[in-house]
Structure 1
């Protein structure tokens, strides 16, 4: 297997090193690039199942989704307790890892958390004890919007991380609103 080198590392490190100089046009472009990658996967009925800031690589300031180790086609997707980063995981999955089958809506939840991170520059639940993150997500606790974030962007990510998977937008809706 041959993989492209990402000269700016992963999104978490990129934001940590560059956040103060990122304007909203750049952050929205980054959100569009991640959304395009998710749209591509979903167009083939593939669910990533582990979207988070360390699985988004940055090369020449362009974002790429990586780590498809637990990705599955919807047709072949089985229930699984493998993978998932609690701060970015669908609360339905965290609450029922043995019975909940992750789906496109699960990726949308993760995308919402990624968008919040783009607006804040810090990982979600950074101030929360790591052993309590899953409980917080299940209980519906979300990070507060960051002052100065465009209201339309807040609307997009708050809808994406809705606790009810049926209420989350589809990827096409998100792309249209960006």
Structure 2
């Protein structure tokens, strides 16, 4: 199916010999990722290794199609094409945009002491505008966290739209998502259907993380934490946070989805706060 999609959609196919000075930079759920250069070192890329036998091909195709749809969006990691390593055994490399500061979580850890509130508002504005743009297209992400967002030259980049590894299909089983997940999705006798207000909850957590420079709840991913969150436990407001900013993110993580603002409203309020 994947090879048929490549051919039918005229996806650019690169020769592996076009890339040089490759080095491994990570080993994620899809496979290893390599930093590499092209055009005499003037352009940097990431090569992500995949085996289509280990992934949900339809979800991967949907993810890549959405990247093509949003190709001009500055806050979405770009997909350039593929390298057909061994298509007969399902081995491919995805040629992706490179983000030189890594995940947002790592960026905040390394740069936070030097960030001004103007810098934090810059990150927050990009985040909320991106998610609002997705919602305008009726796209619910469902897996928003500080490792799903990359940073390149102080610009946020959405890493993925969908989890496509067969082992990761059910997001509820991923403990790393617990601090960012709408607690209503964990409640007994509730069918866990994702909607826009679930993303709004995650955005609230991310806005807090941008204000603090720390993972929510100290990166605690225990089920005991989930029980506490269901019962109303939230992070504490960081001292010297602008009042309107903290008011906004606490509204976003309200236990009642109906009381959470829309992403369109979140964008308007962040922009108004930044200008005042």
Among candidates 207, 230, 248, match of residue 156 of structure 1: 248
- Scaled by the length of structure 2, the TM-score of the pair is 0.58
Which ranges in structure 1 are unaligned for 5 or more consecutive residues? 72-79
Contact 2:179–2:221 (Cα < 8 Å) also in 1: no
Is contact 1:81–1:98 with CA below 8 Å preserved after alignment? no
In 2, Cα distance between the equivalents of 1:94 and 1:68?
A: 22
Which residue of the partner structure matches residue 75 of structure 1? none
Partner of 1:82 in structure 2?
171
Deviations along 1:122-158, one digit per CA (max 9) or x if unpaired, are 0001175633221122111000100010001001100
Go from structure 1 to structure 2 and tell me whether the alpha carbon gap of 1:134 and 1:100 turns closer, same or farther (over 3 Å shift): same
CA distance in 1, matches of 2:189, 2:181: 11
What 5-or-longer segments of structure 2 have no aligned partner? 1-93, 271-276
Q: Which has the larger radius of gyration?
A: 2
The structure with the largest strand share of the pair is: 2
Equivalent residue number for residue 148 of structure 2 = 55
Match among 90, 107, 117 for residue 14 of structure 1: 107
Q: After superposition, what is the alpha-carbon deviation per residue over 1:31-64, rounded to whole angstroms, capped at 9, x for unaligned? A: 0101111011101101000000000100011112
Whether 1:94 aligns to 2:183 is no
Normalized against structure 1, the TM-score is what? 0.89
Whole-Å separation in 1 of the counterparts to 2:233 and 2:126: 27
